[in-house]
Amino acid sequence: MFKLFREKKDKYNRKCIWRVQSLLSNQPESETGFKIQFDEISEQDFLKMSSALSNCSNLQVLNLNFDNHCVISDQSIQALATSLQNCKNVFYFSLRLNCLDQLTEKGVQDLGLILERFKDLTKLKLQIKCLNDEKSKQILFQALAKCLKLQFLALIFNWFEFEDADAKYLGVCLSNCVNLTTFKLKSLSQKMGYKGIQDLFFALTNCSKLSTILIEIRFKYHENDYEHQLDQIGICSALPYFPKLSKLKLELHKEVIGAKSLLDLGNDLAGCSNLQILELSFMNEMSSKCTLELGSALAKSSSLSILKLDLSQNKIDDEGVSNLGFTLKNCSKLSNLDLNLAENNFGKQGVSHLITYLSSNTSLTTLKLNLQQNKLDDEAVSGIGSSFIKSSKIRNLTLELMENEIDKQGVKELGSAFQSWDNIQIITIDISYNKLRDKSESEKLYYYMFKMKRLVQKYLGYSYYNN
């Protein structure tokens, strides 16, 4: 595949366009794939680039990226559509338009025409920065409905005004794409609410082959929204309708979750018998009961092997983190756990119980713990070291202990415990921005690492505040 990137900001115009035209004028029919990226391009040069693609009749893969300073108008998209009309073999198309505010309905229609002409399109990635006209959004979604062979679809709407009605209409259109196996949606609009995501998920249930769903949404949010719960946005009740679901990612910014919601989530996750990879991110004021229900919910997913759980920026206390560890130890097939507990409110007791429970999970071999900014002192770090079960099966361990209150005594206590961690082969520890005064105090951990019996790879991170 030929790749072209803008080389220098002040030289992009002629040099890069000339290279595209030169390469495509030399046996263009032999080229099957192109990746072209510009940080800035004039409309005139965009037209030249489009013209250069017109003879690539055997093109199968096309990746076009146009960033903030590109000038792209209706005429630009029309020229691209005309140039690609003979490219009937494209099965993978990626288009990033980070400056789409100059397009009208006509430009979006031509963009839809490009998609419609790619009859064999199975993989599509669209990243669109601005598209706020309702009619234009409907035209785009209607074009997606005609891509009947699609198996992979990624939609990234940066400052795209994506509202409840848009989500519902997108779902209706995508319900035609019955061959879809992977769907990714990322929206930063903050204009979608609970009803929109509910309608979208239920429309997607028509795509029974979906095995991977990745959702990142910033919900519209108000201070009095605490009565809303996860079951109200429809995700829980929709999950059992995806029988082949093996990977699920839910990143719900500014969502408020209650214990009942998490229990409902667990019951529906238990119905996903093929679910192996799960990524969840919830940022709200979770109670101790919530963490207990969350852990219990996850333990019900019998096939879960990889879990990434982001509970940072909550108010989880010792009881809450202990509850979470107690329930996660019962995930019988869990082999890889990435747990982010940064910026919470627990101390020695909570972290000691967490380590004890997790290290007693006999299926867990890879563990990453982010304990950043939890006011953990030397005593708490000592608890981490002493709580690690000697018979643990963990081989790969990452501890992120940045921005706590660890001093040299804590380093000594943690390092002394290394010798009892018999099965660790790979260890990564970051103790940056604690109370350690110089590099030598941090590097003492290296001395202890060298004494670990089976260690084959190590990394120590440390940085300091300027005094």
pLDDT of residue 411: 92
Query: In sequence order, what are the beta bridge partners of 139?
Result: none
Whether the CB-CB separation of 382 and 408 falls below 8 Å is answered with: no
Q: Alpha-carbon distance 457 to 137, whole Å? A: 50
Six token digits for residue 41: 């391009």
pLDDT of residue 114: 94
48 CB-side CA count, 13 A: 16
pLDDT at 291 over 90: no
Q: Alpha-carbon distance 366 to 102, whole Å? A: 48
Q: Alpha-carbon distance 387 to 417, whole Å? A: 9
**How far, in whole angstroms, is CA 458 from its chain's centroid?**
27
Q: Is 54 within a domain?
A: yes
Please indicate whether residue 304 or residue 29 has the higher confidence score (pLDDT): 304
pLDDT band at 419 (very low <50, low <70, confident <90, very high): confident
pLDDT band at 40 (very low <50, low <70, confident <90, very high): confident
Q: Is 28 within a domain?
A: yes
- The one-letter amino acid code at 333 reads K
Q: Is 7 within a domain?
A: yes
Q: Which domain holds residue 31?
A: 1-88
pLDDT of residue 396: 96
428 SS3 class: strand
Average pLDDT over residues 310-339: 92
pLDDT of residue 14: 47
Residue 466, Cβ density class (10 Å: 0-12 exposed, 13-18 middle, ≥19 buried): exposed
Average pLDDT over residues 420-424: 88
Six token digits for residue 150: 């699609």
pLDDT of residue 269: 80
Q: Is 121 within a domain?
A: no
Average pLDDT over residues 251-277: 73
Candidate ranges 217-226, 256-265, 300-309; pick with highest mean pLDDT = 300-309
Average pLDDT over residues 255-268: 67
pLDDT of residue 254: 54
Where b means 16+ CB within 10 Å and e means fewer, 366-377 reads: bbbbbbbbbebb
pLDDT band at 223 (very low <50, low <70, confident <90, very high): very low
Average pLDDT over residues 379-387: 91
pLDDT of residue 255: 54
Average pLDDT over residues 281-304: 80
pLDDT of residue 446: 86
pLDDT of residue 346: 92
Six token digits for residue 95: 């288009």
Average pLDDT over residues 55-83: 87
Total structural domains in the chain? Answer: 1
442-446, long-range: CB within 8 Å, 24+ apart, which pairs? 442/411, 444/408, 444/411, 444/412, 444/415, 445/411, 445/414, 445/415
pLDDT band at 372 (very low <50, low <70, confident <90, very high): very high
Q: Is 261 within a domain?
A: no
Please indicate whether residue 432 or residue 464 has the higher confidence score (pLDDT): 432
pLDDT of residue 169: 94
Average pLDDT, the chain: 84
Average pLDDT over residues 205-209: 93
Q: Is 174 within a domain?
A: no
Candidate ranges 58-62, 127-131, 440-444; pick with highest mean pLDDT = 58-62
Please indicate whether residue 210 or residue 160 has the higher confidence score (pLDDT): 210
114: CB partners within 8 A, 6+ apart:
77, 80, 81, 84, 93
pLDDT of residue 121: 96
pLDDT at 58 over 60: yes
Please indicate whether residue 239 or residue 123 has the higher confidence score (pLDDT): 123
Q: Is 38 within a domain?
A: yes
Residues composing the chain: 467
- The one-letter amino acid code at 138 reads Q
Q: Is 129 within a domain?
A: no
- The conformation of residue 79, written as its DSSP 8-state character, comes to H
Average pLDDT over residues 362-391: 91
Quickly list H helices, 90-163. Answer: 105-117, 134-145
Of 74, 158, 64, residue with least CA distance to 108: 74
pLDDT of residue 206: 93
pLDDT band at 250 (very low <50, low <70, confident <90, very high): confident
